[in-house]
Amino acid sequence: MSTILCICRGAQMIEVDSSEVIRLILQFLRDNNLPDSVKTVSKESGVFLNVIKDKHSFILLAKELKWDLVLEEVEYNLCLDRNVLSSLYRTIYFDFVRKNEISTARSILRDSVLKELKDTDPEEYVQLESFLTFEGNTEEVFNSCHIKLITQLEQTLEQTEPNRLLQIIQDSIKLHSKDLNDSNLKYSVFTGLFVKGADGADATAHIPFAHRDDLGVVLCGSERYLFIGNSQGTVQILDWATASIHSDFEFTSERIQMNCPITFITERNSMLAVGTEDGSIGVWRVDPNGTIKQVTLFDKILKGPVTSLCLSNELVACSSVVCLVLGLRSGGILRQLSTEHIRYVTLGDSLIYGASRNKLFIFNAHYELIGSHSFNNHQITHLLFHAHIGCILNGFIYASGNTRPFGNAHSYRSSSSPKGHFIYQATDKALCIYSKDGIEMRSIPFERIKSVYAHPTFNIVAISTDTQLLMLRP
């Protein structure tokens, strides 16, 4: 059986703001020590970088009034817009005024960005200058400026890793360097898509995975990895960017292996829980540095196959017979979540949602029942949580005690990134793509979908069928 990557363009175009591209260029120029070029591009485009590697530490410097270190960072690593830069120097100016260091304050007023006020706002410049001879208390004025500055920094600064442009290009090259079965495929670094033909009229491409073991039957993922559980009891770890076994895990001695077919997997905060057909559950820690370590094993803890798992402070595990809260540290049963047959669980907004055949239950962080909702004459077959929408079931959305129709009542798999604009639902014949407003955007024909999982951030969805594993970018 072959495992393939499929990248599609649908009728809906995903737009990238041109300012984001300019910011990537600005960061590249800054990281390569080209400050004059950064200033020129910012001036011509009106786009400012406002990106820093460690936002928390920088704001802490500003809170502690360590202006020499703040200005050094601004000079060499930041390109703040005029309003924030003016607030910064205004705050520094009043700090020296209140300390009665008038000579330094005068230099800041006359030699920094504040001197532009002479032409743009003469009245404000005169008012600022008057504080040089003011004999009263300026503490209140300084505090007001300082609070405003910290607020502006928290709202405008963004934190990211350096050299994002190079990372994007490297990811593209990784994909481009793979052997392709179809010689007619062309890969575009500019668009990030594989297409057939020079004009790109056919927007579907097939690229084989490096790994060809038994296909995955259940999927889940994190920001970096896609986890694929199969009928041999093995979990493979794939890189979202390259669609191949992640190189960090190729030579690790530890393997994620269970003794019978895997029926459910879930991941949260580098913890991976794996449920099997015989009711056993294994928990591993999968660190980004390439190490895998088993945390605990619950051997045949449930009666019947595991139908759902949820990692909160502890582990909530369901079968068609029982739903238990399991201690990750103790390795034992902490409590039974409900006397009713909860088959599916999910975590959202610090609450735990559980579903039986036709009833939804809401539990608090202490696993106490705080609410429920009945869906008469409607059988629930899956459950997930979306940060902006609420609980998504097949055919309904539940939020704050209210329900509304949504999607396909006959779907049996569903997935969405936590804050994504699209929700994917699988039926017997197709993958249906919905907006978070409930509008069906597109339907892609598929036979016998086993599992579907959407990337936590990007608009990419992985699909497991009887014959192939796909990655789609609708």
Convert the pLDDT of each residue in 321-366 to its tens digit. 899 999 998 889 999 987 678 989 998 878 899 999 889 999 998 8
| CATH code at 206-472 | 2.130.10.10
User: Which residues, in sequence order, are CB contacts of 381 under 8 Å at separation 6+?
Assistant: 394, 411, 412
Q: Which residues are registered as beta bridge partners of 333?
A: 326
Phi and psi angles of residue 356, each rounded to the nearest 5 degrees, phi first: -95, -160
Do the beta carbons of residue 345 and residue 384 sit within 8 Å? Answer: no
Instruction: Give the strand pairing for 390-393 and 395-399.
Output: antiparallel
Q: Cα separation of 222 and 357, whole Å?
A: 29
Residue 197 pLDDT > 60:
no
What letter represents residue 417's amino acid?
S
Q: Kind of pairing, strands 158-159 and 51-52?
A: parallel
Q: Going along 51-122, which residue ranges are E strands?
A: 51-52
Q: pTM for the full model?
A: 0.57
Q: Is the pLDDT of residue 12 over 50?
A: no
Q: What is the CB-side half-sphere exposure of residue 194 using CA atoms within 13 A? A: 27
Find the mean pLDDT for residues 72-86. Answer: 81
Mean per-residue pLDDT of the chain: 79
Estimate the crossing angle of helix 139-156 against helix 55-63, to 10 degrees: 180
Domain with CATH 2.130.10.10 in the chain: 206-472
Q: Which of 33-37, 77-81, 229-233, 319-323 has the highest average model confidence (pLDDT)? A: 319-323
Burial (CB < 10 A; 0-12, 13-18, 19+), residue 203, is middle
Q: Once rounded to an integer, what is the mean pLDDT over residues 39-64?
A: 84
> Rounded mean pLDDT of 361-387?
88
